[in-house]
Structure 1
Amino acid sequence: MELLQTPNIEIIGVAVAIVAIGAGAAYLYFSKKSRGCLDPENFRDFKLVKRTQISHNVARFQFALPTPTSVLGLPIGQHISCRGKDSVGEEVIKPYTPTTLDSDVGYFELVIKMYPQGRMSHHFREMRVGDYLSVKGPKGRFQYRPGQVRAFGMLAGGSGITPMFQVTRAILENPKDNTKVHLIYANVTFEDILLKEELDNLAANFPGRFNIYYVLNQPPEVWNGGVGFVSKEMIQAYCPAPTADIQVLRCGPPPMNKAMGAHLDDLGYMKEMQFQF
C-alpha cells in the first residue's frame, strides 16, 4: 500500500510547490507594481520635511514618502498635479515636475520659483516643514525608453528646466543608455538660472554626452553664453540637426514655446521630431 501511495504524495508535493512558486511570483509582480506612491485619480498627502531657500524667490522642497524605501512612481518626463490654496483661500491646482527620480528612494523634491502674483506660488511661499502637500499623478504624454533616439535637443526657459533635468538625469545615470543631450537654457538674468550647480556638474561628469548652452536676456558684464532670445542660429549651433533619430523637447513660457516651434519648423524639424511639455 505504501508503494501505491508514494506517487500521489509526490504529485501533491509538486503541485504545492507550483502553487507556492506561482504565489511568490504574483506577490513579487504586484508588490513591484504597487511600489509607486502616486494615485492617478485621488490626491494623496505628503509631508514637507525640508525646505531650502536657493534665492529670493526659489526654494527646494523635499517631501517624505511613506517609508524610507518607497518610490514616487513617476515615469520619466511626466509630472504631478499639486493642490493648494491661493492668497484668498481658493483651491488651486498646478502641474510640477519633480527633480528627483525613482532612484531617489524615500522622498521626492520640487524646485519651485515663486512669482509675486502666482496663485500656487502663494501656497508654496507659505509652506513650512511639517505641512502637507496634496499630490495626484502621474500626468503627461511624454514616454521615454532608453535608446529611443540617438540624441535629444532641449529648449528650456525658466522653470521649464525641471522636466529637462529629470529626463537628462535618467539618461546619464543609466549606464546602458548612450543617448546624447544638447540643452539650451534661457533666462532673463543670471540669478534666474535654476539648478545651475546640478546642471554644471552633469556637464562636467558626462563630457561628450551632455552639453549645455545658457542664454540670458540681461547678462552680467562678464558672460560667455548667449545673449537675448534663443534664435534659429543658436538652435543650429547647439542642437542636433533634424534627422529621423533625434527629437527636440521644449518647455517654457507660452511665448517662448510658440517662438521655438516656429524656429524648429523653419529649420526643417518635422512635427514627429518635436515634443512640447
Structure 2
Amino acid sequence: MSFRLTKFDFSHFRYFTEKLQPELLGGAVAIIAVGLTATYFYRRFTKVPKKCLDPNNFKEFELIKKTQLNHNSARFKFALPTANSVLGLPVGKNIIARGRDSLGEEVMRSYTPITLDSDVGYFELVVKMYPNGKMSHHFRQMKIGDKLEVKGPKGRFSYKSGQVRAFGMIAGGSGITPMFQITRAILENPKDKTKIFLLYANVTVDDILLKEELDNFVNKYPNQFKVYHVLNKPPNEWNDGVGYITKDMIQTHCPAPAKDIQILMCGPPPMNNAMTAHLNALGYLPKMQFEF
C-alpha cells in the first residue's frame, strides 16, 4: 500500500510552519516526520483479515480436525487459506456445502458454522449424520486432509447487535447451530444486552450437541442466557422438560409476545410446524417468528 500527502495536507502543513517560531520549527518537523512514518508503516504492514467466502463459486477448505461428539454427530474443523483469514460469514447467515452421496451423485446442503469471524484461520461445523442422509455420507467418509467445497453467505436472516430486546430460541437436534452462532455473537459482545431464552429438544442427554458450551454460557451469563432442555428419554435424575416442547413450555420459558422480541425456530419440519401452531395460539404474530 503506498502513502502520499494530499494537497490539502500540504496546505495545512505550510500554514502551520509559517506561524511557528523558528526555534521550534525543527522539532515540529521532526515530530511530524515521525508521525507520518509511523502511519505509513502501520498501513503498509498491518494485515486486514481476508474474507474467504464467495457467494457464487465453491471454494475448497481442508479438514484439519474431526471430533466425534456422539454416535451420529461430529465436529469438523476446516483450515482457511492463511492464519490471518476469516470465513466472512455475517451473523445469522449460513453456507452451502457440496459433496457426493453413496452413489457418487452430487449433493448440496446448508450448514451454519458454530464459529464467528473472531475465529481467525479456521471455521467449524457440527454435523449430525443420518444413516440414509446423502450429505451425511460425505461427512462420514471425510478424513483429515480431505477438502470440503463451500460457497456463501446464504440465508434470509440477518442479525445486528441489539435489534431486539430478547430472543426466544426453539431448537431440535442439529438445529442448535444457528442458535449457537447468534448466541455467541451476542454474549461475546459486551455492548449487546439482548436476552436469550433457549428451548432445546433432543432424545437423550447424549444427543445434546454443544452441551458443555451451553452450560458455560449459563454459568458465565446467568442474567442474559437461559436454556431449558427437553428430552424424549430423560435420565432418572432430570429437572428439565420431558417429551416434546409444548405450548405451556413456550409460554413459561420464552419471552411473551411483544414488538421488541422474536422467536427463532430450527428443527425437523414436523417440529417446526408444531411450534408454529403453538406460537400462533399464544399470540405471536408472524413477524415475531422466524424459521431457519
* TM-score in terms of structure 1 length: 0.89
Superposed CA offset, 1:153-206 (max 9, x none): 000001000000000000000000000000000011211111101111111110
Structure 2 counterpart of 1:120, from 119, 132, 135: 135
CA distance in 1, matches of 2:122, 2:98: 18
Structure 1 counterpart of 2:160, from 128, 145, 148: 145
2:67 matched to which residue of 1?
Answer: 52
Retained in 1: the 8 A contact 2:194–2:224? yes
Superposition map of 1:192-231 within 5 A: 192-231=207-246
Structure 2 counterpart of 1:104, from 86, 102, 119: 119
Retained in 1: the 8 A contact 2:50–2:84? no
Alignment size in residue pairs = 257
Retained in 1: the 8 A contact 2:52–2:87? yes
Q: Quick one: structure 1 residues 98 and 13, their matched pair in 2 at CA, closer, same or farther if it must change by over 3 Å?
A: closer
| 2:177 aligned with 1:165 | no
CA distance in 2, matches of 1:221, 1:11: 77
The CA deviation at 1:226 is: 0.1
2:23 matched to which residue of 1?
Answer: none
Secondary structure in 2 aligned to 1:55? Answer: coil
CA distance in 1, matches of 2:289, 2:154: 19
- For 2:287, the aligned partner's letter is E
1:129 matched to which residue of 2?
Answer: 144
Superposition map of 1:171-186 within 5 A: 171-186=186-201
1:156 matched to which residue of 2?
Answer: 171
CA distance in 1, matches of 2:149, 2:8: 51
Secondary structure in 2 aligned to 1:120? Answer: helix
Secondary structure in 2 aligned to 1:219? Answer: coil
CA radius of gyration, larger in: 2
CA distance in 2, matches of 1:134, 1:233: 42
Secondary structure in 2 aligned to 1:237? Answer: helix
The CA deviation at 1:221 is: 1.6
Q: Quick one: structure 1 residues 43 and 263, their matched pair in 2 at CA, closer, same or farther if it must change by over 3 Å?
A: same
Superposed CA offset, 1:110-139 (max 9, x none): 011111111101000000000000001000
The CA deviation at 1:272 is: 0.9
The CA deviation at 1:13 is: 7.8
| 2:84 aligned with 1:78 | no
Q: Indicate the percent of aligned positions where both proteins have the same amino acid.
A: 65
RMSD of the TM alignment (CA)? 2.0
Superposition map of 1:236-251 within 5 A: 236-251=251-266
Q: Quick one: structure 1 residues 97 and 12, their matched pair in 2 at CA, closer, same or farther if it must change by over 3 Å?
A: closer
- For 1:72, the aligned partner's letter is L
The CA deviation at 1:11 is: 5.3
User: Gapped runs of 5+ residues in structure 1?
Assistant: 1-9
- For 1:48, the aligned partner's letter is L
Q: Quick one: structure 1 residues 229 and 11, their matched pair in 2 at CA, closer, same or farther if it must change by over 3 Å?
A: closer
1:6 matched to which residue of 2?
Answer: none
2:77 matched to which residue of 1?
Answer: 62
Q: Quick one: structure 1 residues 13 and 190, their matched pair in 2 at CA, closer, same or farther if it must change by over 3 Å?
A: closer
User: Gapped runs of 5+ residues in structure 2?
Assistant: 1-5, 14-35
- For 1:126, the aligned partner's letter is Q
Q: Quick one: structure 1 residues 11 and 143, their matched pair in 2 at CA, closer, same or farther if it must change by over 3 Å?
A: closer
1:42 matched to which residue of 2?
Answer: 57
Structure 1 stretches (4+) deviating beyond 6 angstroms? Answer: none
CA distance in 2, matches of 1:242, 1:12: 55
CA distance in 2, matches of 1:68, 1:14: 39
